[in-house]
């Protein structure tokens, strides 16, 4: 998830793969050193002396945040800046269009803390995608998610992966992706002894296997998707034996509203068992007890959606909402053990973005979030809740 109030999902730039043409190479005058690659897409230019087309772009944005204070020690205001730069290189080959894509983010947070992050780094040829790319689980985060900073419960991860997409024609395609499981590996609950303790899972052996089937048409898109995830119990839990396997699956639908300019509705839902990362807010995936050789997997579901419209060519409005319901893993019902709470959370809000001129926009967003954890039994029962309003002002320039 962009599950915490101030979690960020990376903003993608660039355009989808398209056909390319061989570009003539030869001596030219100074005003002809860079030629537009019209067949590849807007913004692509031929690199002199090569048949490669390159697109360069990025953004600089500043966010100003006002949020509810849970205590006097919490910050009510926040200042966040991000700069982003990306390169998209494409070459027509005998095996199809060869594409390489690189996206770098630089963040400056409160107290001028600076952080550089590789956002994307992958290559594509034919149906093959290899490198650090957006997961093929789900479509909402990649194709919609028109928020500013509002969190939502949906898988928004970028992972090291290798995937193959088969196009069947008429908008129907299927993808099989093998993805690094270390990004989805959650903590485990060891319930042997009192109190129970949270421990790290064993090392990764089997990568996550992700698949999707999607249909793209003029009216919108639809998809179903799933993932299988290995859970390895750590030493000294040998009596438990090897591993369990968690899984997640879901579906999504996005519909264009032709009666409204830019109008659309998008919804996505996910169920996960022992693979909470795919819900967008990672929890304890499993519990185990070395004494009685018992295990249990946590499970839950999420639903996320939005509706958006262009009020004028310069003004867009979006309403977003998301819900999470997660039942924790446990191997016993002792009223003495308060660990592993059930989680219920929801967030709802909206934003408006005004484009002043090409490349420059101002945005405002407000959302309300509520996260509740309930655990324990008897005298040790407890309930914790975090809720409140958050407001965001964004100034953004793209190029």
Identify the pLDDT of residue 248.
Answer: 98
Residue the block writes with tokens 């809000």 = 349
Q: Residue 288, exposed/middle/buried by CB under 10 A (0-12, 13-18, 19+)?
A: buried
Q: Rounded to whole angstroms, how far apart are CA atoms 62 and 149? A: 12
Highest mean pLDDT among 1-15, 23-37, 350-364: 350-364
Q: Which residue has the higher pLDDT, 39 or 319?
A: 319
Q: Could you tell me the pLDDT band of residue 19, with boundaries at 50, 70 and 90?
A: very low
Residues in the chain: 399
**Mean pLDDT within 177-199:** 87
pLDDT digits (tens, 9 = 90+) for 50-83: 889 999 999 999 999 999 887 888 888 999 999 9
CB 283 within 8 A of CB 343: yes
CATH code, 56-398: 2.40.160.10
Q: Could you tell me the pLDDT band of residue 8, with boundaries at 50, 70 and 90?
A: very low
Q: Which residue has the higher pLDDT, 92 or 377?
A: 92
Q: In what order do the strands lie in the sheet with 286-289?
A: 197-199, 188-190, 286-289, 294-297
Give percent of the chain with pLDDT exceeding 70: 86
Identify the pLDDT of residue 241.
Answer: 58
Identify the pLDDT of residue 29.
Answer: 42
Residues 6+ apart with CB under 8 A from 74: none
Mean model confidence pLDDT for the chain: 86
Q: Rounded to whole angstroms, how far apart are CA atoms 141 and 124? A: 21
Q: Rounded to whole angstroms, how far apart are CA atoms 301 and 344? A: 10
pLDDT digits (tens, 9 = 90+) for 137-150: 999 999 999 999 99
């Amino acid at each position: 998830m962009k599950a915490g109030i101030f979690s960020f999902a990376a903003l993608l730039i660039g355009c989808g793969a398209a056909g390319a043409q061989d570009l003539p190479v030869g001596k030219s005058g100074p005003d002809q050193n860079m030629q537009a690659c019209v067949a590849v897409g807007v913004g692509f230019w031929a690199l002199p002396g090569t048949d490669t087309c390159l697109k360069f772009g990025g953004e600089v944005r500043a966010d100003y945040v006002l949020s509810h204070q849970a205590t006097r020690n919490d910050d009510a205001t926040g200042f966040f800046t991000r700069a982003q730069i990306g390169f998209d290189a494409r070459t027509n080959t005998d095996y199809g269009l060869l594409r390489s894509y690189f996206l770098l983010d630089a963040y400056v947070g409160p107290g001028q803390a600076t952080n550089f992050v590789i956002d994307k780094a992958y290559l594509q040829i034919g149906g093959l995608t290899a490198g650090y790319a957006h997961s093929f689980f789900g479509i909402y985060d990649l194709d919609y998610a028109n928020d500013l900073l509002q969190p939502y419960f949906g898988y928004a991860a970028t992972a090291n992966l290798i995937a193959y997409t088969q196009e069947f024609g008429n908008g129907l395609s299927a993808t099989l992706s093998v993805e690094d499981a270390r990004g989805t590996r959650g903590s485990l609950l060891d319930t042997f002894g009192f109190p129970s303790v949270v421990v790290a899972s064993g090392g990764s052996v089997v990568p996550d296997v992700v698949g999707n089937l999607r249909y793209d048409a003029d009216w919108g898109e639809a998809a179903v998707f799933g993932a299988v995830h290995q859970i390895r119990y750590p030493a000294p839990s040998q009596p438990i034996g090897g591993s369990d396997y968690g899984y997640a699956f879901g579906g999504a639908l996005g519909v264009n509203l032709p009666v409204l300019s830019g109008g659309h509705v998008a919804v996505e839902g996910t169920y996960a068992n022992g693979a909470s990362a795919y819900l967008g807010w990672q929890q304890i995936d499993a519990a185990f007890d070395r004494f009685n050789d018992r295990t249990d997997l946590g499970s839950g579901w999420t639903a996320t959606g939005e509706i958006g419209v262009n009020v004028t060519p310069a003004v867009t409005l979006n309403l977003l909402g998301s819900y999470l319901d997660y039942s924790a893993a446990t191997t016993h019902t002792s009223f003495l053990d308060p660990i592993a709470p059930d989680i219920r959370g929801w967030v709802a809000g909206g934003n408006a973005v005004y484009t002043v001129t090409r490349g420059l926009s101002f945005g405002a967003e407000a959302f309300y979030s509520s996260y509740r954890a309930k655990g324990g039994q008897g005298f040790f029962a407890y309930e914790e809740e975090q809720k409140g309003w958050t407001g965001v002002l964004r100034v953004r320039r793209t190029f």
